[in-house]
Structure 1
Amino acid sequence: MPSDDLLVAVETSADDVVLISVRGSLDGWSDCDALAEALSRAAQGSTQQTVVDLSRLTFADSTALHALLHGLRKHAENGIPLVLAGPLHPSVSRLFEVTGTHAAFRFADSVEQARTC
């Protein structure tokens, strides 16, 4: 599988933390439905927290941002914390900066750190 192909994996830990790992490119040309669906399912569950590991995401555009913002809104409606974990690729970090959405999300430097947020 080429490294720019989108892959979304979901796992739930014993302490009810959902980890959504995203790898590759998340843009209008990739199938963002997998991320949107994973975020929606996590927001509807009885989980303690959702962590989205973006450390292996190499590129993201407004399609990705829309999926993340929608997931954030659903999590907030259900009182479930959503944390984005890095380290972020510079192009992914730039997306949050240029759109002014960085402050909307809670970020952590790693998945381990995100679990303590």
Structure 2
Amino acid sequence: MDRATVGSANRGRLQVEVRTEGSSEIVKPAGELDHHTAELLRAPLGEALEQGRVRLVIDCSQLEFCDSTGLNVLLGARLKAEAAGGGVHLAGMLPVVARVFEITGAEAVFTVHDSVEAALSD
């Protein structure tokens, strides 16, 4: 897939769109991120990192559910991005997903923004 264009993958409950903007890879999961759909997010995050895009912005504005498997995908991407000198920025989290990050303490290890625009300008 040409990474300069928007790509998507869909396994019913999760759709993931990817686009590059400047030095950032913007990944937008929509739907439910869980054990059954996690690979749909893991794959494009891994591809971005392999291609040297280490600033990942996750647009969570349409992510309706995230379980521990989904959280682990994001934590793994964060570790790899930081090891390469970048980071993972979460943007536009819905309250139900933000609560998972709050309960687990994961919000402390991510940079969280109100919107993708705010994440891109940071």
| Smaller-chain TM-score bracket | 0.7 to 0.9
Which residue type is aligned with residue 65 of structure 2?
Answer: F
**Of the two structures, which has the highest relative contact order with CA contacts closer than 8 Å and spacing of 6 or more?**
1
TM-score by length of 2: 0.84
- The structural deviation recorded for 1:12 is 1.0
> What is the count of residue pairs matched by the alignment?
111
Q: Runs of at least 4 residues of structure 1 off by over 6 A?
A: none
Q: Is the 8 A contact 2:66 2:100 kept in 1?
A: yes
1:35 matched to 2:3: no
| Cα distance in 2 between the residues matched to 1:42 and 1:79 | 14
Gaps of 5+ in 2: 1-11
| Cα distance in 2 between the residues matched to 1:71 and 1:23 | 18
Gaps of 5+ in 1: none
Percent identity between the two aligned chains:
36
Residue number among 2, 5, 30 corresponding to 2:13 in the alignment: 5
Which residue type is aligned with residue 45 of structure 1?
Answer: Q
Which residue type is aligned with residue 110 of structure 1?
Answer: S
Q: Which residue of 2 aligns with 1:62?
A: 68
Q: Which residue of 1 aligns with 2:6?
A: none
- The structural deviation recorded for 1:16 is 2.8
SS in 2 for 1:25: strand
Which residue type is aligned with residue 24 of structure 2?
Answer: V
SS in 2 for 1:115: helix
